[in-house]
Structure 1
Amino acid sequence: MERTSSSGTKNPVLNLPGIFRAYQTKGAIKTNQAIPSASSPGTPPSPSDNMHEKTAPSHIEQIPTHDRVPGHTNYYEKNGLRTYENPSGAANALTNDPESHNATPRMTFRRLMSLTAMAFLWTGSQIPVYLFGGIPPLIYSDIGGADRWIWFVLANLLSLAAVCPFVGSLSDLLGRRYVAIIGACFIVLGMIVCSTAYTMNVFICGMVFAGVGAGINELTALAVTSELAPTSQRGKYVAVLIFTIVPFCPSVLWAQLIAAYSSWRYVGLLCGVWAFIGLVLTAVFYFPPPRVNSEGLSRREVLGQIDYVGGILSIGGMLLFMAGMQWGGYQYSWGSAHVLAPLILGAAMLIGFCLWETYGATHPMFPKRLRQDPRILGLTLVITFISGANFFSILMFWPTQAFNMYGHSPVGVGIRGLPVGLSILVGACLVLYLLSVFRGHNRELLIFSSILMTAGCGSLAIARIDNLHQLWGLLVLAGLGIGGIVVPASIITTIICPDDLIATIAALTLAIRVIGGSIGYCVYYNVFINKFVPAATYYIGGTMTEKLNITSEELIGKAIEITGASLLPALKEIPGIGDVPGAYEMVVVAARWRMRRRISGCIM
């Protein structure tokens, strides 16, 4: 069926109630067939109609998706790629969008500023956890909470992972412009709360807000950059976006210098101002065309496609399970109700989430069509999970270890953090480049990166207070391996999934990586705490009893608690240490020796 436009050009019309996939009765051949619209009584049947009658499918499944909504006159494909330009060349302003992907668009000032806004949103979503993660001892030495500070990292990561599956539906409902603005507002609000907090619980609350904004803005910035770029240059545009994080690779150095010469609260000010700049640029310059995904769907239909039950089960299960993991063996014994109750409830909710997504959800968070190649997808997600565990753990553990074992100089601590950030970025870019050079060898590249990550992270267990020079190369090795997995694994998942579900798989991969980081960091920290007590008793307790003649269990326990929280100056307040020349230095050296196992938990 054809209709003639105002310009006299015949354009094909697909009058479809949905997108259908037909499964042939004979042979395992899947064909996409469009159900023809009803013909008028006087219209004779065409040969194609007879063909459809002969090959009538036995089963027709309607597949509702966000990205392929029928009935849109401005949705076209060219060579399998989505474009906004009418391939017939009709001179119709409604079907020729200025953001056509068939040709390289002219770089206007507004387009440039829109891309700049996305760069601010992208970096603004990353830097709060990077900067604050470099100075935990300075934060809880001021506002307290040495027994729960780990939750400001976990809260940020879990809230980021929780919001990822819903960003696409929010974009359909509100549009990318308003979703990006909302995400930036969440980050600004979170940084205001963190910068003005005087208790650790309030600080954790601020990081929750920042995590929600980070999840929204990270995915939105990637999606908008891809939309603004022509298809042929999309990889270059996204690569430039990723590279905008380069100024913050020395995040530990910047955070240490800010805290040393002013206050750690100015770190929150920097992050908040950065996010606010992105908010203003987005509000002023980014005005995208109407989203094809949401046209033809009412607000109620968009809301109806959100998997609320899956969201509640996944978020609640992760929070409860992580709480039990963190409390076990540290604040409460593993057999106590405080630990067993959240562990069991969390595990049950996560199992319920898997069952719901498989059998109960009408519109699951992760559609079944993602499993076109389940083996590769499953293995890639497992690798993403493990690499996320090491990625976030080394980002959090190494600055603290460098702070405690090798001195408190802000510049020194910052320089020791440089190899990690830079090598992760280099590893990611290098493997992404090699994916294009050595096509068909994705598995070998991931295996090699996994070997580097395992060897680098595991070898950091040799760290002593007298062999810092040996660690530089090991840190680079670990960073190259982690970077070679974190980003490339995400790209591989987008290659093996349907084109209309790229945004969904990107959100899934990001959520898996962040959840892996949360669980890995929690497990590694718990392992460290459980190994720390006997090691600290041996080194610190032995030094205090044998060399300083301090036999009070209360004072020894207090010294161990202080060193465990990295609050070494407080040791001077203990009788027999602060008033005895050389005693403080002796206890500090003993404390640094026990810190040598700080990152050994990162062995895969």
Structure 2
Amino acid sequence: MTSETEPPRFSHAQIRTIMLGVTLALFLASLDQTIVATALPAIAQDLGGWDQIAWVVTAYLIASTVTTPIYGRLSDLFGRRPVLLVSVSIFVTGALLAALAPTMGWLIAARLVQGLGGGGLRSVAIAVVSDILPPRERGKYQGYLSTTFATANVVGPVLGGVLSDSLSWHWIFWINLPLGALAFSMTWYQLRRLPRPTRKPVIDWLGAALILAATTPLLLGISAVQRTGSWTSPQTLTGLAVGAVFLVALVLWELRAREPMLPMRLFANAIFAYASVVTLLTSIVMIALILIIPLHYQLLAGLAPGAAGIRLIAMTLGTVTGSFVAGQLITRTGRTWIFPVIGCACGTAGCVLLALLGLGHAMAVDLGVTLLLGLSFGGQMSPLTVTIQNALEPRDAGVGLSCMMFFRLMGGAFGTAGLIAVLVDQLGGGLALFQPGLRAAMPVAELRAMGTLLTSAFAHVYWVSAGIMAMATLAACAIRELPLRGK
């Protein structure tokens, strides 16, 4: 943010209040991307429109992802507080409309509105930390935010299933109203002390339009991969091609814009560029494995969905623990470089162990490997955030952090589509294994052959994941460490 005055100092009590509010905002935005997954059958049964049900998830994903960098830049221009409060208001309005939805079309439109607010909650919540704390003190608080993001990814499907079964699917949206109101009120007063930009903001409307025009087709193309299982389907190729054309146009325009919405100078900063690459590659593997590992447990070990979900808890706890511990160590030592390097290296080792050992054997082995993966992912989230904050000028803090979140979301989308497509491609004729009824009717010899095919297919996915994490390790080694400012 641009201000000629000395930034205000906040007491520990004020920081706790602000952090609780922005953590709640980030949790709401991240939770609503996953909470509807287990409620989709109940929603389709009530509203109809089975052929449109995927758009309940896709509409939110696209809207919240494509607006993330735009909100970050707007918060640099107008201040964090007004942009965050507007985002909360839009998000809660979308949740209210979704809870009242009488038709599938209405619900999809409401989820689009929710996503428009969710993009601001994600990007601005992280940027607020850079306004209230010096870099040396940000590690432990960014650890809390990274933990929140990781937890919401795993808790969402469980909470959605519980609410839709015990109450109704409407409640997965109703709960956002009191929580959103609480986040609004908790940040309303304290954030008034943040300095506002003193110069008149100039908005790059064409840049914002090109961001939307580039990222929306890309995400639609990725969604087509998940639906068709093919990277060569007409929907996929069209989306990726259109997105690539507008991406080139975006770069060319932002290089000449007077006040670019997405400043290209960010990518001239080697620290920001390498940290973004690490974020993208790590997210590709992390989000995909959250879906693939439970599938592995169910198809090869024969575990029920609930039991498979329980075994994933180790990975969740590892992510939370790794993020928290890394954040605390950053504050104590003032060092950030070593954590992404160790995290990516451990992630590579974890994927190699999965490829060699598989899952579904001794519980101690399963929990140990998934715990290692969780620690590796969590141990680099907050360090990368602090690294980017410390490397950028204050005027670019909001847009820089929102770009990091954008790469994290895009990585998750590409990873989910890409690695599941790899799995499906490796299975080939073994797709019947996804249908329990057909598996039960197979002869024993055929089931054993299919089991061998499954083992090979999952191992191939884990080897690909290990390769991606190895590239992330090399990128992490290239990040130059800057001393963290203490004031």
TM-score (norm 2): 0.76
Match of 2:35, SS? Answer: helix
Q: Deviation at 1:436? A: 5.3
- Out of 346, 365, 375, the position equivalent to 2:261 is 365
Change (3 A) 1:335 1:584: closer
Q: Deviation at 1:517? A: 1.6
Letter in structure 2 aligned against 1:355? L
Q: Deviation at 1:533? A: 4.4
Partner of 1:494: 389
Contact 2:66 / 2:215 at 8 angstroms: preserved in 1?
Answer: no
Contact 2:76 / 2:396 at 8 angstroms: preserved in 1?
Answer: no
Letter in structure 1 aligned against 2:251? C
Distance 1:134 1:202 in 2: 20
- Give the RMSD, CA atoms, in angstroms: 4.3
- Out of 278, 301, 322, the position equivalent to 1:383 is 278
Whether 2:20 is the aligned partner of 1:126: answer no
Gaps of 5+ in 2: 469-487
Q: Deviation at 1:173? A: 6.8
Whether 2:204 is the aligned partner of 1:279: answer no
Whether 2:415 is the aligned partner of 1:511: answer no
Contact 1:188 / 1:273 at 8 angstroms: preserved in 2?
Answer: no
1:70-112: CA deviation from partner (whole Å, max 9, x where unpaired): xxxxx33xxxxxx24xxxxxxxxxxxxxxx32xx64847xx76
Whether 2:372 is the aligned partner of 1:477: answer yes
Change (3 A) 1:475 1:194: farther
Moved more, 264-273 or 196-205: 196-205
Partner of 1:18: none
- Which of these two proteins has the greater Rg computed from alpha carbons? 1
1:14-67: CA deviation from partner (whole Å, max 9, x where unpaired): xxxxxxxxxxxxxxxxxxxxxxxxxxxxxxxxxxxxxxxxxxxxxxxxxxxx51
TM-score (norm 1): 0.63
Partner of 2:212: 315
Percent of paired sites with the same residue: 21
Distance 2:61 2:19 in 1: 26
Distance 1:164 1:156 in 2: 12
Within 5 Å, which residues of 2 pair with 1:213-252? Answer: 213-228=117-132, 239=143, 251=155, 252=157
Partner of 1:96: none
Contact 1:164 / 1:511 at 8 angstroms: preserved in 2?
Answer: yes
Contact 2:214 / 2:244 at 8 angstroms: preserved in 1?
Answer: yes
Match of 1:522, SS? Answer: helix
1:278-331: CA deviation from partner (whole Å, max 9, x where unpaired): 234445x456047431x342xxxx2xx323223322322222233334435963
Contact 1:135 / 1:400 at 8 angstroms: preserved in 2?
Answer: no
Q: Which has the higher contact order (CA 8 A, sep 6+)?
A: 2
Partner of 2:88: 184
Q: Deviation at 1:347? A: 1.5
Q: Deviation at 1:124? A: 1.7
Contact 1:158 / 1:515 at 8 angstroms: preserved in 2?
Answer: no
Partner of 1:40: none
Contact 1:428 / 1:486 at 8 angstroms: preserved in 2?
Answer: yes
- Corresponding pairs, count: 459
- Out of 309, 320, 324, the position equivalent to 1:429 is 324
Whether 2:171 is the aligned partner of 1:266: answer yes
Letter in structure 1 aligned against 2:113? F
- Out of 21, 45, 64, the position equivalent to 1:117 is 21
Partner of 2:343: 449
Distance 1:344 1:527 in 2: 21
Q: Deviation at 1:144? A: 7.4
1:122-163: CA deviation from partner (whole Å, max 9, x where unpaired): 322222224335666776687778877666555434433322
Q: Deviation at 1:438? A: 6.0
Distance 2:287 2:74 in 1: 27
Moved more, 136-145 or 313-322: 136-145
Contact 1:134 / 1:400 at 8 angstroms: preserved in 2?
Answer: no
Higher percent of residues as helix:
2
Contact 2:203 / 2:259 at 8 angstroms: preserved in 1?
Answer: yes
Moved more, 210-219 or 222-231: 222-231
Distance 1:602 1:164 in 2: 26
1:575-596: CA deviation from partner (whole Å, max 9, x where unpaired): xx9xxxx75999xx89995776
